[in-house]
Amino acid sequence: MTRSVKTMDHTQISSEMATELSEKKRIGILGGTFNPPHIAHLVMADQVCQQLGLDKICFMPTYLPPHADEKKTIAAHHRVRMVEEAIKENQMFDIEKIEIERGGKSYTFDTMKQLTQLHPDTEYYFIIGGDMVNDLPNWYRIDELTNLTQFVGIRRPGFPVESRYPLLWVDVPQIDVSSTSLRNKISRGCTVQYLVPDAVMQYINREGLYKNEN
């Protein structure tokens, strides 16, 4: 059965592509450091899931972010626990721990190669914020990666919506929250209530995370 997939005002998947896709499981992957996970992650995952009619969204924490030199992160087990807390109330959300289990630098090409080999019945949609799109040319084996997964771009305030790579752009209410801003707030003793799910805030408080940064 041909499925009509309307993604946003001006992007539409062709009916041939939709037919082919509808025969496979369709899973969105939201890769991230999740240091910590916040409401913008949840909103973008939910919107992409609903707008593209995906079967589920897997939140995929990195073990070591590929640009680790530039990005200090707390231990992976804390980030995994926070993601689990953040997604626990949504049945369409799941966690993919393949990068945590593999260890080392979490290059997306390695991950998607592994996932597509393990699950040939699945079509993957790799979700990225608009802030990452400009950086795609620097990703490890990016040309091959675009053959393994369909990238989905999310508009983010202040970032362009163009790329030389094939992206599906999805309109999501823009939420100007980042993990960096939350870490800064917590280290200054400011509240992050409503910016992260309650369960994540409780975990951060219980474990005393981000208090001594900067």
DSSP lists the bridge partners of residue 125 as 28, 150
Give the other-Cβ count within 10 Å of 98's Cβ.
18
CB 197 within 8 A of CB 85: yes
Q: Are 187 and 205 in contact (CB under 8 A)?
A: no
Q: Which is nearer to ligand ATP, 18 or 43 (CB)?
A: 43
**Given the complex with ligand NCN, which of 13 and 177 has the nearer CB atom?**
177
106 binds, options ligand ATP, ligand NCN, none, Cβ within 5 to 8 A by partner type: ligand NCN
Task: Among 47, 106, 146, 150, indicate the residue that binds ligand NCN (CB under 6 A).
Answer: 106
Q: How far is CA 1 from the centre of its chain?
A: 29
Q: Cβ 208 to ligand NCN, closest distance in Å?
A: 23
| Helix boundaries (H) for the chain | 15-22, 39-52, 76-87, 98-102, 108-118, 130-133, 142-148, 179-187, 198-207
**Closest by CA position to 204, among listed 7, 191, 109:** 191
The count of residues interacting with ligand NCN (CB under 6 A) is 14
Under DSSP, the state recorded for 69 is: G
Mask: binding to ligand NCN, 30-69, rule CB under 6 A, as x and -?
Answer: -xxx----------------------------x--xxx--
**Selected binder of ligand NCN within 59, 63, 93, 107 (CB under 6 A):** 107
Residue 159 is a binding residue for ligand NCN (CB under 6 A): no
CB-neighbour burial class of residue 16 (10 A; exposed 0-12, middle 13-18, buried 19+): exposed
- Regarding 140 and contact with ligand NCN (CB under 6 A), the answer is yes
What x/- string results for residues 166 through 195 when contact with ligand NCN is judged by CB under 6 A? Answer: ------------------------------
Helix (H, G, I), strand (E, B) or coil at 185: helix
* Cα–Cα distance, 93 to 59 (Å, whole number): 7
Give the shortest CB-67-to-ligand NCN separation in angstroms: 6
Single out the segment in contact with ligand ATP by CB under 6 A; choices: 29-37, 46-54, 94-102, 188-196. 29-37
Contact residues for ligand ATP, defined by CB under 6 A: 32-35, 40-41, 44, 128-129, 131-132, 154, 156, 175, 177-180
Which positions touch ligand NCN (CB under 6 A)? 31-33, 62, 65-67, 71, 106-109, 139-140
